[in-house]
């Protein structure tokens, strides 16, 4: 019997492996070993175990940094949504991990390539393999490139694009467009913190902070959306 199939190249999630064999293992389902004895034990489950921990930590740190105005409870809920199986499986499809997954013939016939658990495990295994091959920084940067896509999967449009949602709501209420202004910048260039004032004429003004101007503006827009939808029109 011939050897197991091989994946196409040594790149995944925007990272190129120094050791492509690690990526091949991350993409190898345990069903391959049943048909190729030489591959027995060379499946991705150990890398999946490691990747699960890396994903959890990267997502937690990213949420903490991206949403400085959000309370612990909301961050916990967002993290749970981002690391759950269906979200990771969707990322596996988006970044074509599903197409490159190495399966035994039986698993292939049974549709394992479409199973959320299999795809989520493969995604975690790839992250684990990047961590082993390139270390924490490589795993962090590769995964963070995926997180905006993941966030759009789990959040309603008003949360994913609060500035756009606010613009639409104000138009429906026949109110003027919002006015954003940076009122303070502090910290060194690599740790800059912006304070933005958002005014919605005639009577709503809020301030919010973020690690970028965009993040601060989005945080301010979320605050105004919450107040307007609650029927509030007070100066905050």
CB 218 within 8 A of CB 194: no
The verdict on whether 144 is a catalytic residue reads no
Q: What is the CA radius of gyration of the chain?
A: 22
Q: Classify residue 7 by its DSSP letter.
A: -
Number of Cβ within a 10 Å radius of residue 150: 21
The verdict on whether 133 is a catalytic residue reads no
Number of Cβ within a 10 Å radius of residue 218: 24
Q: Which H or E run includes 222? A: helix 213-229
Q: Which H or E run includes 147? A: helix 136-154
Catalytic, out of 35, 45, 52, 144: 52
Catalytic, out of 7, 66, 98, 124: 124
Write the CA distances from 119 to 17, 124, 142, integer angstroms.
20, 9, 18
Q: Is 168 annotated as a binding residue?
A: no
Write the CA distances from 58 to 30, 50, 124, 131, 190, integer angstroms.
26, 13, 12, 11, 19
Written as six digits, the tokens of 62 are: 């990213």
Q: Is 226 annotated as a binding residue?
A: no
Active site residues: 52, 124
Please give the annotated binding residues, written as ranges: 48, 124
Please give the annotated binding residues for Mg(2+), written as ranges: 48, 124
């Amino acid at each position: 019997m011939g050897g197991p199939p091989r994946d196409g190249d040594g790149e995944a999630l925007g990272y190129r492996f120094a050791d492509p064999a690690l990526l091949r293992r991350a993409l190898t389902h345990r069903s391959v070993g049943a048909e190729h004895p030489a591959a027995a034990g060379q499946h991705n489950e150990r890398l999946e175990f490691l990747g699960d921990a890396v994903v959890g930590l990267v997502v937690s740190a990213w949420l903490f940094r991206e949403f400085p105005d959000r309370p612990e409870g909301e961050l916990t809920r967002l993290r749970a949504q981002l690391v759950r199986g269906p979200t990771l499986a969707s990322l596996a499809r988006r970044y074509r991990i599903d197409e490159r997954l190495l399966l035994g013939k039986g698993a292939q016939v049974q549709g394992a390539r479409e199973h959320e658990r299999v795809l989520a495990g493969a995604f975690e295994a790839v992250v684990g393999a990047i961590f082993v091959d390139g270390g924490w920084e490589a795993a962090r940067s590769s995964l963070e490139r995926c997180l905006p896509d993941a966030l759009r999967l789990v959040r309603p449009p008003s949360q994913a694009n609060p500035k756009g949602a606010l613009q639409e709501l104000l138009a429906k209420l026949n109110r003027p467009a919002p006015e954003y202004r940076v009122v303070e910048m502090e910290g060194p260039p690599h740790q800059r913190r912006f304070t933005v004032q958002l005014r919605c004429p005639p009577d709503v003004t809020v301030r919010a902070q973020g690690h970028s101007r965009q993040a601060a503006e989005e945080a301010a827009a979320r605050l105004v959306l919450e107040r307007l939808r609650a029927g509030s029109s007070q100066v905050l």
